């Protein structure tokens, strides 16, 4: 296999937390990535299929990602989805980043919960043909089979390994691999909930963004549709 060097890690990062950073670091190490590019989403286009609308403005989410990764040269952030008009389609992001990088397909890093919804994304077949996918376990999931998570309509496009932890695209040779990591049971929604309740989020948020997130006061307001 030719070595893929760059990782792309998309997310709402609302706000960025230790689980995100651990995922990026585990993927960097497991796939020998030169760097992992964090790509904050503007407005998730698949919100009608269950994704959330961001609470914090894009500029703040971006600034927090920059602050959280400032001490790690292997991580960087690309604001391209915030600079584009309209919805943030992953296929456009992968294509833009591929033209800037070398010929190697990037490794798109994604939690298993998000990967399970990929069939509802814009042009999922092209997404899976345009990048490798590192599917990272997320609590409560510790292990699993890609046979269960590959979109039904696209399963035939892939040849599964006997242990069902990796799959190779029959036409493009892009692969999907399961990456089992020690789970960190942390989520942005849990952090937002704790902040609303006035509880501590220390050690759940990266140290560098603890004060900026608290000072913003963003998450102290009730979520839309929630009574104060």
Binding stretches for ligand ATP (CB under 6 A): 11-14, 19-20, 23, 52, 110-111, 113-114, 136, 138, 184, 186-189
Minimum Å gap between C-beta 21 and ligand ATP is 10
Minimum Å gap between C-beta 171 and ligand ATP is 25
Residue nearest to ligand ATP (CB): 111
Please give the Cα distance from 175 to 184 (Å, whole number). 25
Of the pair 45, 103, the CB lying nearest ligand ATP is at 45
Minimum Å gap between C-beta 105 and ligand ATP is 18
198: left (phi > 0), else alpha (psi -120 to 50), else beta?
left
User: Among candidates 109, 134, 28, which has minimal Cα distance to 75?
Assistant: 28
Of the pair 103, 182, the CB lying nearest ligand ATP is at 182
CA angle 92, 128, 22 (to 5 degrees): 85
Please give the Cα distance from 69 to 15 (Å, whole number). 13
Minimum Å gap between C-beta 24 and ligand ATP is 9
Please give the Cα distance from 40 to 90 (Å, whole number). 11
Of the pair 162, 214, the CB lying nearest ligand ATP is at 214
Minimum Å gap between C-beta 222 and ligand ATP is 15
Of the pair 113, 126, the CB lying nearest ligand ATP is at 113
- The DSSP call for residue 153 is G
Of the pair 131, 136, the CB lying nearest ligand ATP is at 136
Please classify residue 156 by burial: count the beta carbons closer than 10 Å to its beta carbon, then call 0-12 exposed, 13-18 middle and 19+ buried.
exposed
């Amino acid at each position: 296999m030719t070595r893929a060097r760059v990782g792309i890690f998309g997310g709402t990062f609302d706000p960025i937390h230790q689980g995100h950073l651990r995922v990026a670091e585990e993927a960097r190490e497991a796939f020998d990535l030169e760097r992992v590019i964090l790509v904050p989403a503007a407005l998730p286009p698949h919100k009608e299929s269950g994704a959330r609308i961001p609470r914090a403005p894009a500029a703040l989410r971006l600034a927090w990602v920059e602050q959280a990764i400032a001490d790690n040269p292997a991580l960087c952030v690309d604001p391209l989805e915030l600079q584009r008009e309209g919805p943030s389609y992953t296929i456009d992001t992968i294509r833009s980043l591929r033209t800037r990088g070398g010929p190697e397909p990037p490794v798109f890093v994604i939690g298993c919960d998000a990967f399970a919804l990929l069939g509802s994304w814009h042009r999922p077949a092209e997404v899976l043909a345009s990048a490798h996918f590192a599917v990272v376990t997320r609590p409560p999931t510790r292990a699993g089979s890609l046979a269960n998570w590959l979109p039904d309509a696209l399963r035939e496009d892939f040849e599964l390994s006997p242990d069902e932890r990796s799959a190779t695209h029959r036409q493009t040779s892009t692969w999907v691999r399961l990456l089992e990591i020690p789970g960190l049971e942390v989520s942005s929604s849990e952090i937002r909930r704790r902040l609303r309740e006035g509880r501590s989020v220390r050690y759940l948020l990266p140290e560098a963004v603890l004060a900026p997130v608290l000072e913003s006061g963003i998450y102290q307001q009730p979520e839309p549709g929630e009574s104060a």
